[in-house]
Structure 1
Amino acid sequence: MLRALILASALVLPAATAYAQDDEPGRLSLSATGEVNITPDMATVQSGVVTEAPSASEALNANSQAMNGVFAALDRAGIARQDVQTSNLQINPVWSNYSEGGERRITGYQATNTVTARVDELDSLGATIDALVSSGANHIQGVTFGVDDDSDARRQARLNAVAELQDIAELYAGALGIELGGLLEFSESGGFRPQPVSSFARMESMDASTPVAAGQLTISVTINGVYEIAD
C-alpha cells in the first residue's frame, strides 16, 4: 500500500510586486510538493574485477579470465544476459611513490572491468552478491534500488501536490484578507529520490548471506502555481 507524505511550501511575492501597478491584477505565487513512499521491487548491482600485473596485456588477460567467472555467477543466479551491461572497462598504469629526486615510475598496470546487473528478485540479492564475490568479483561498486513501474505512485504524488497547493492558496488568501481569482500559471517539476547507494570497497572475501536492506523509495512531484488576486 502506498503511504503518502505531503510537503508544501509557499512564497508570497513582496508587497511591492504582489499587487501590480497600473490596474494590473496582483499575483500570489505558491508551490507545493507531494510525496509517496513505495517499496522497491528491483535493484541494480555494479560489480567486477580489478587485476594488476607487470604489463597491460597480462593485467587484461587475468581480468578477462576472472570476469568469465562473474558472468557465469550471474547466469547461475538467473540474471538474463539482456539485464547485464558493461559499465566500465579501463586499463591504467600503476605508479610508484615519489623518489627522493621527485621522480615516479610505472611499476605495473591495473585493469578494471565492471558490469551492471538488474536483479528482480530482491530476496536473492544478498545471495547474488555472495555468488559474485565467490566467483572472482573483488570490486562491488554499489547497489541501487528502484521500482519497475512508478506510474501509480507518481499519479498519487501529483494529486497530493495539487490538493496541498489549493489548501495553501486558501490559507494565504484568508490570512491576507484577499480574494483569489483564477490560476494564471502552472508548472511541474518532479524527482525520484532513491535510497543511498550501498558501496563496498575492493574485497578479497565476503561472509555468506550478505545482509541487504531495500528500505523505501520516495516519488516526489513539485508544482508551482500563480493565482490572480481579485480586486
Structure 2
Amino acid sequence: MIRALILATALTVPAATAIAQDEPGRLSLSATGEVQVVPDMATVQSGVVTEARTAAEALNANSRRMNGVFEALAEAGIERQDIQTSNLQINPVWSNYSAGEQRRITGYQATNTVTARVTELDELGATVDALVASGANQIQGINFSLEDDDAARREARLRAVAELRETAALYAGALEIELGGLLEFSESGGGRPQPPVMFARAESFAADTPVAAGQLTVSVTITGVFAIGD
C-alpha cells in the first residue's frame, strides 16, 4: 500500500549537461520521482553448515538437518514453490599452517542454503526462530520487497514527469529562452530497498525474534532533451 505521504521529488541537473556546449539549441534535464511504500513480502536465506571426517559424512549430516529446515518452512505456511536451493557445496577443511609442515585436509564442510519467500511478514520473526530451532545454523539475510510495485512505479513516473516539465519551464524563464519540442526522452531507475537484515552464524534466537520491515523507496529517473527555439 502506497503511503499517503510521498517523498518530494528529487531533481538532478548536472551543470555540465544543463546546456550541452557541443550541441547548441538543446536543453538536457533529469528528474527523479520517488514514492515510499511499505514492503509486503520478504525473502529469507537460511541453511545448514556441517563438518565431518569425510565428504559423504558431512553431506549426510547436512541432509538430515536440512530436512528439519524444510519441515519448519512448511509448518510456517510457506509453499514448496516458494522455496529454492540457492547454494550447495562441499569444501575441504585444511589444517593450520605450521612451519616445516605441509597443510593437509582434516575433514570436509558441507553447506546447503535455501531461499524462502515469506508473504506473512507478521510471522517473519517466528519463522526465523523456527528455522534455527529446526537445525538451521546459518541465517544469511532477509530482504524486503513488493509483490507488485506497478502502482508505486506509475506514481513515481508521473511525479518525475511533472518535475521535469516544471524544471524545464523554470530554466527557460531564468535563461530567457523559448523551449521547443521534446527531442529525446529516456527512463531509468528502480526500487531502493532498505539494507537487508543480516544475521551472523546462529545457534539460537529468543522467541519471536523482532524483525522490522521498514520502508522501500521506488524511484524512477527520467531524462528529457528539449529544443531551444530561435
5 Å matches for 1:88-167?
88-101=87-100, 103-167=102-166
Q: Provide the secondary structure at the position in 1 that maps to 2:209.
A: coil
**AA aligned opposite 1:10:** V
C-alpha spacing 1:158/1:121, structure 2 compared with 1 (3 Å): same
Q: Residue 18 of structure 1 contacts residue 28 of structure 1 at CA under 8 Å; is this kept in 2? A: no
Q: Calculate the TM-score normalised by the size of structure 1.
A: 0.94
Please give the per-residue CA displacement for 1:55-112, whole angstroms capped at 9, x wherever unaligned.
Answer: 1000000000000000010111111001000000000011111111263111111000
Q: Residue 19 of structure 2 contacts residue 27 of structure 2 at CA under 8 Å; is this kept in 1? A: no
Paired with 1:18 and 1:69, the residues of 2 have a C-alpha distance of 65
5 Å matches for 1:35-114?
35-101=34-100, 103-114=102-113
Q: Provide the secondary structure at the position in 1 that maps to 2:214.
A: coil
C-alpha spacing 1:14/1:187, structure 2 compared with 1 (3 Å): closer
Q: Partner residue of 1:4?
A: 6
Paired with 2:153 and 2:84, the residues of 1 have a C-alpha distance of 28
- 2:212 is aligned with 1:213: yes
C-alpha root-mean-square deviation of aligned residues, in Å? 1.4
Q: Residue 4 of structure 1 contacts residue 157 of structure 1 at CA under 8 Å; is this kept in 2? A: no
Q: Residue 20 of structure 2 contacts residue 28 of structure 2 at CA under 8 Å; is this kept in 1? A: no
Paired with 1:18 and 1:165, the residues of 2 have a C-alpha distance of 22
C-alpha spacing 1:188/1:159, structure 2 compared with 1 (3 Å): same
**Cα displacement (A) at 1:16:** 7.2
More off after superposition, 155-164 vs 94-103: 94-103
**AA aligned opposite 2:182:** L
Paired with 2:126 and 2:72, the residues of 1 have a C-alpha distance of 11
**Cα displacement (A) at 1:19:** 6.1
Q: How many percent of aligned residue pairs carry the same amino acid? A: 71
Q: Provide the secondary structure at the position in 2 that maps to 1:78.
A: coil
Q: Provide the secondary structure at the position in 2 that maps to 1:17.
A: coil
Paired with 1:106 and 1:208, the residues of 2 have a C-alpha distance of 39
- Structure 1 residues not aligned, in runs of 5+: 21-25
Paired with 2:165 and 2:18, the residues of 1 have a C-alpha distance of 21
**Cα displacement (A) at 1:4:** 2.1
Q: Partner residue of 2:21?
A: 17
Please give the per-residue CA displacement for 1:193-222, whole angstroms capped at 9, x wherever unaligned.
Answer: 111111111112111110100000010000
**AA aligned opposite 1:69:** G
Q: Residue 11 of structure 1 contacts residue 29 of structure 1 at CA under 8 Å; is this kept in 2? A: no
Please give the per-residue CA displacement for 1:122-149, whole angstroms capped at 9, x wherever unaligned.
Answer: 0000000000000000000100001110
Paired with 1:117 and 1:14, the residues of 2 have a C-alpha distance of 46
Paired with 2:30 and 2:95, the residues of 1 have a C-alpha distance of 56
Q: Provide the secondary structure at the position in 1 that maps to 2:34.
A: strand
Q: Calculate the TM-score normalised by the size of structure 2.
A: 0.94
Q: Provide the secondary structure at the position in 1 that maps to 2:6.
A: strand
- 2:195 is aligned with 1:196: yes
C-alpha spacing 1:183/1:218, structure 2 compared with 1 (3 Å): same
Paired with 1:164 and 1:216, the residues of 2 have a C-alpha distance of 23
